[in-house]
Amino acid sequence: MLRFPLRITADITKALLARILHQARHDSSVQFVDAAEILHHDSNHPVSHEKIREIVSSRSPVVWIGGSEPLHHPGVAHLVRAVTGSGHFVFLETDGTLLRRRIHEFQPVPRLFLTVRLDPGAPLDAPKSLRPSPSELAAEGIRTARLSGFFLCVHMRVHAEAELGEIAELIRVSRSVDVDGIVITPATGGTNDAAVQSKTAEARKMIGSTWWELFSRFVEPVVSRERNAAQTVDETGHRVEQEARVNEEGVKVA
């Protein structure tokens, strides 16, 4: 059974309470960072030290590093260490194709979740060919990360053409390789599509963890590139605060 980390539960709850008590509406529970906006493509040195200071000083308990493939940037491991070292949880999103090659640059600390982005319909357990496919490389990266002691999360994006059966199979395979968490969001451009939203809601029910379902809803507004998303971060936070009182794992935060 997937279990949502108690420490993240506590930190998100504290962030929600702080926003309610102090009306600090500018800090969401999840902060999105595009690695390309901070790191040089061919250098370990950051583009903006000011931006890094802004990230580490943020009250958002979770930092989601994604955008253009973060593992294309030599300095991403330094960025991750800086952010986790400041007390934030980091979800480093990657397509997984470079994960095995660069895994040695990271440390398996409790505040880091290596997050592999997968699309339903691309099997993780397909037979190997002479030239590995992206899904095979992602699978190898997941296995290497698991053997190296990292926390692992899978990010599934629901497209309009995705079948629920394909999503269910990908969830089954992900759980079979013992991932720690599953996040499901609508694919970019689908946040205003009622059919995609409905399919996403159905897919989240298959995760098997109320907290990972709710965390998916936290992540959705910040990973979506649609500015007119159906949910705002504030609306999502208010709804999660209400629903978090009922947790199938019996988690209570003082």
* Run means of pLDDT, 10 residues per run, the chain, 254 residues: 85 81 68 88 74 89 93 92 95 95 96 92 56 80 94 93 91 91 82 82 94 94 58 44 46 40
How many angstroms separate the CA atoms of 211 and 207, rounded? 10
Q: What are the structural domains, with CATH classification, of the chain?
A: 6-243 (3.20.20)
The per-residue pLDDT for 249 is: 44
Q: Collect all residues with Cβ–Cβ distance below 8 Å to 163 and sequence separation of at least 6.
A: 120, 121
By C-alpha distance, which of 165, 164, 179, 247 is closest to 213? 247
The per-residue pLDDT for 25 is: 53
The per-residue pLDDT for 191 is: 52
The per-residue pLDDT for 42 is: 72
The per-residue pLDDT for 248 is: 40
Token pair listed for 181: 């968490």
pTM of the model: 0.82
Q: What is the DSSP string of 38-101?
A: TB-TT-SSBS-HHHHHHHHT---SEEEEESS-GGGSTTHHHHHHHHHHTT-EEEEEE-STTHHH
User: How many angstroms from the chain centroid is the CA of residue 108?
Assistant: 16
The 10s digit of each residue's pLDDT in 139-161 is: 899 999 999 999 999 999 998 88
Q: How many Cα neighbours within 13 Å face the side chain of 166?
A: 17
The per-residue pLDDT for 87 is: 94
The per-residue pLDDT for 119 is: 81
The per-residue pLDDT for 105 is: 96
